[in-house]
Structure 1
Amino acid sequence: MRFFNGNWKRKLVGPWTGRRVLFFAVLLGVALGWLSFRAVDRLGMPVRTGTNEIGGSYRLMTVSNDTVTEGDFLGRWTLIWFFDTSCPRSVCVPTLNVLSETVHDLAAAHISAAALAVTLDPMHDDSDRLKSYVLGTAPEVRPLTAAPRVIENMAREFHAPDEMMTGADGARYHRPAPRIVIMDPHGGYAGTADADMQAAALVERVRTLAGRH
């Protein structure tokens, strides 16, 4: 027995009118938007590499809960270093001091610079810990944090290590970045410097990159 004639498909689907096309386009847009929202919710805002060999766009939080991005540092040489506050002070504080001294000395040479110290342990390093660890000894350095996934993405883009260390007292901490990333005033990657470099050498490194040596 034949229940359907040859026109059943046409009756079920119907013509693709402008209204029907618009409906399915809106439905698809809603679905894609929901999937994008779920991805951002799970992964955090992505770090966009752009054309840089190292580095990319980022959105971080200051110890005053203000938001900063790479755009806030355009026009300045930016020195970016990764650490956490569980790092033994004898290991990490010297680099923070060098960064702070470098920014001060570059200003004296009429070269505008900013130094950013980004925590690798945002779940542990709250604003009070960051202020106490960084600003007490290196006032020219800006301690920054963000959601864990954002920090993970940024550390990867800036080639920071993903490795845990054990201090002499048995405390665990993230291995600090062995190199400081230098971004030029246009936000592009300019080079790196050893994290154990002295301030005078780091100043000369930036002056060379700026064509001011």
Structure 2
Amino acid sequence: MTKRSYSSMEQQSMDRNAVGLATWRSALIFIVTGVGLYFYFESEKKKVKERKAAELANVKTGRPKVGGPFTLTDQDGKEFTEQDLLGKWSLIYFGFTNCPDICPDELDKMGAVVDLIEKKHGADVVIPVFVSVDPARDSVSQVKKYLSEFHPKMIGLTGPYDAVKKMCKVYRVYFSTPAEVKPGEDYLVDHSIYFYLMDPKGEFVDAFGKANTAKEVKAKFDKAVEAWKAEE
């Protein structure tokens, strides 16, 4: 074996060692990078969960005190209380049957919201409720006749003035009838124009006015359901 051939073999061996060393270095870098990325993403996931939990906590602590005990009569003449709303989501609107345009528009929208919700979440998920703020004219039979023009699942509530006033108070709803109205005289009731979304525990989630579309309300409902499930 000549000196030159020996050097060539030695060089080949050195080259193989260098390649092997580079391969091990690459593998080590790959492993270290992979481990680093894993812990990074785990850390980010934890931060996201903590941020969502904080947001949910802020939403809950920041909720206005809306809702509470009430006792009224539904369109079938049966007693209806806040207990009948528990276990399901509810949409509650306060208005009166002689309202010329705003109430019908809002009740139509609320019915559309119910249809959108049921299409995604299934039937019997949400209860739509209409509460009369004109008990002097809105008898049980009048409310039933009025609601026949709207969503079939809508529940109509009425009752004595004091009982209606009590419910409006706990739901922070304003309403006022003109002073010195004579019997049989037509009049309009000034009242709050929005409806509430309440969760299955009877707690306030959000309120929607004329500017909110049915799709916007349904989108808010979807987020509320997602937050509710995350909490369970």
TM-score range, shorter chain: 0.5 to 0.7
> Match for 1:91 among 76, 89, 102?
102
**Structure with the larger helix share:** 2
| Structure number with larger C-alpha Rg | 2
- Cα displacement string for residues 88-132 of structure 1 (whole angstroms, at most 9, x for unaligned residues): 1x2211111111121122112116101111000112101222122
- Cα displacement string for residues 166-209 of structure 1 (whole angstroms, at most 9, x for unaligned residues): xxxx9422124222122101111222111452211111121122
Q: Distance in 1 between matches of 2:110 and 2:191?
A: 14
**Pair 136,181 (structure 1): closer, same or farther in 2 beyond 3 Å:** same
Find the counterpart in structure 2 of residue 174 from structure 1.
Answer: 189
Gap regions ≥5 residues in structure 1: 1-50
Structure 2 residue 196 is matched with structure 1 residue 161: no
> Match for 1:149 among 162, 165, 175?
162
**One-letter amino acid of the counterpart of residue 113, structure 1:** V
**One-letter amino acid of the counterpart of residue 193, structure 1:** F
TM-score, normalised with respect to structure 1:
0.67
Find the counterpart in structure 2 of residue 56 from structure 1.
Answer: 68
The CA RMSD over aligned residues, in Å, is 2.2
Asked if the contact 1:84/1:120 (under 8 Å) is kept, the reply is yes
Find the counterpart in structure 2 of residue 119 from structure 1.
Answer: 132
Q: Distance in 2 between matches of 1:198 and 1:175?
A: 23
Asked if the contact 2:67/2:202 (under 8 Å) is kept, the reply is no
Gap regions ≥5 residues in structure 2: 1-62, 179-184, 228-232
TM-score, normalised with respect to structure 2:
0.62
Find the counterpart in structure 2 of residue 26 from structure 1.
Answer: none
Find the counterpart in structure 1 of residue 24 from structure 2.
Answer: none
Q: Distance in 1 between matches of 2:140 and 2:175?
A: 22
**Pair 66,73 (structure 1): closer, same or farther in 2 beyond 3 Å:** same
Q: Counterpart of 2:94 in 1: which secondary structure? A: strand
Counting matched residue pairs gives: 157
How far has the Cα of 1:162 moved from its partner? 2.2
Structure 2 residue 87 is matched with structure 1 residue 75: yes
Q: Counterpart of 1:118 in 2: which secondary structure? A: strand
Q: Identity rate of aligned residues, in percent?
A: 22
